[in-house]
Structures are given as C-alpha cells and as structure tokens.
C-alpha cells in the first residue's frame, strides 16, 4: 500500500515504544490496591487515556486521585521500555514538521518513555491532557494536524490499537496498523496493516512524504 501524505501522526505506546510489560505491571499494582479485576482493566485500557479507563471502574469522587496515583506509578517504572523495530532509524529521517505523536498518556510519561527507548521527542506531541476527549474521539489527531499546519486528510495515522485507529479514521486521516499489540483481526478498519515499522519505507519529498507499507 502506498500513501502520499504531508505528515505522519504516530501513536506512541505499542507503535513506537514497547512499554507493554511496564503498562501491565502498573495496572496490576493499581488494580490490586483498589480491589479491581486486572483482566477487565486490560481488556479496555489499551489506547485509552488513564482517566477514561479509571472512569469505567471508580466513582467520580475517586477518579482524580486515582489518575494521579497511576501517573506516579508510570513515572517510576521505565524498566524494559524499548524502541520497537525500525523506529530508531525511521524517526530521525523525518523532517520535524512532517511528523507528530498523539498519545493517550501524559506529556511527562510519554517524553520519559521516548527518552528511555532512545527515540526523539517530536516538536508536536499531543497528550491526554491536551484534549477534552481522548481516543477513540478524533480530537488528538485533529489537534496534531493543525499544529503541523497540514490538512488531516493529507495525514497518515499509525496505530496499534482499535481505539486509536477509530480516532484516526474519525478525524479523516488514512490509517496504518501495526500488529505489535493486537492481532490483525482486531485491526481490520485500517487502510493497511503491517507487523511493525520495519515493513514501512518513507521517501521524503519537498511537498511531503511517500509511505510504502507491505
């Protein structure tokens, strides 16, 4: 599949960075403290803001403290946070105004994870606190495209989770799925699907990017 676009908008966890072991440890610790079912949490947390996941399990008056607790756990646990295949080669070759990251995590956590994985932090990084509605709402991707000064319909969203793909499609972007955290059968809404970014080539042109996936 070939995409001619002006910019690529990446998710972070599961797309650029493998933080699954850390994420699952954090949710396990948090669920244990609150007497909640870990498996139920893991079924819904991927690709969503912590506050949106917490809202499914705790009453309103407990949520703010619980989200702060989660963020502290995340900042303290960066063990085994690693760059996913090809990301260390790909990202530095992209012009700064041709890519952005859109994440369901916080600015502090995502910057820490990118740094721990040895990856560059983009000029445009839209995080959980930067939008009113998180994925699968399109807000984050729309904000990233606007910050880059490009039309969202001329963007490619790269995601690993159904909620993120839904956000990209709702925004009006083309979508590319990587099967780094979910089976391809769960990512059928994507325009194209690859195992990881080692199967993606990017040609930089004066007016944009040509992304070939396959």
The phi, psi pair for 156, rounded to 5°, reads: -115, 125
Integer Cα distance of 26 and 177 in angstroms: 25
Q: What's the pLDDT band for 84 if we cut at 50, 70, 90?
A: very high
Average pLDDT, the chain: 94
Please say whether the beta carbons of 101 and 9 come within 8 A. yes
Q: Please name the residues in contact with 80: beta carbons below 8 A apart, sequence gap of 6 or more.
A: 18, 21, 22
Look up residue 68 and give its two tokens: 């702060």
Strand partners, 213: 200
The phi, psi pair for 144, rounded to 5°, reads: -65, -45
Please say whether the beta carbons of 11 and 103 come within 8 A. yes
The phi, psi pair for 20, rounded to 5°, reads: -55, -45
Tell me the pLDDT tens digit for each residue of 147-166.
999 999 999 999 999 999 99
Tell me the pLDDT tens digit for each residue of 9-29.
999 999 999 988 888 888 999
Annotated catalytic residue 13 = yes
| CATH T-level topology, domain 2-18+81-213 | Rossmann fold (3.40.50)
Residue 168 clears pLDDT 80, i.e. is over it = yes
Tell me the pLDDT tens digit for each residue of 65-81.
999 999 899 888 887 78
Look up residue 6 and give its two tokens: 């002006």
Give the active site residue among 13, 18, 52, 139: 13
């Amino acid at each position: 599949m070939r995409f001619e676009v002006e910019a690529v908008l990446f998710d972070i966890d599961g797309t650029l960075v493998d933080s699954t072991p850390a994420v699952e440890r954090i949710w396990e610790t948090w669920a244990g403290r609150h007497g909640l079912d870990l498996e139920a949490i893991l079924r819904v947390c991927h690709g969503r803001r912590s506050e949106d996941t917490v809202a499914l399990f705790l009453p309103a008056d407990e949520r703010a403290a619980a989200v702060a607790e989660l963020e502290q756990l995340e900042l303290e646990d960066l063990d085994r946070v690693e760059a996913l295949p090809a990301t260390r080669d790909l990202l530095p070759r992209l012009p700064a105004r041709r890519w952005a990251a859109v994440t369901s995590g916080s600015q502090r956590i995502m910057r820490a994870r990118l740094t721990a994985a040895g990856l560059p932090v983009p000029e445009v990084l839209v995080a959980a606190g930067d939008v009113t509605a998180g994925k699968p709402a399109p807000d984050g991707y729309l904000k990233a495209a606007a910050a880059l000064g490009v039309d969202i319909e001329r963007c490619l969203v790269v995601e690993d989770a159904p909620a993120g793909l839904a956000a990209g499609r709702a925004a009006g972007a083309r979508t590319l799925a990587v099967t780094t955290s979910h089976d391809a059968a769960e990512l059928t809404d994507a325009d194209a699907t690859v195992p990881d970014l080692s199967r993606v080539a990017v040609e930089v042109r004066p007016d944009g990017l040509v992304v070939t996936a396959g």
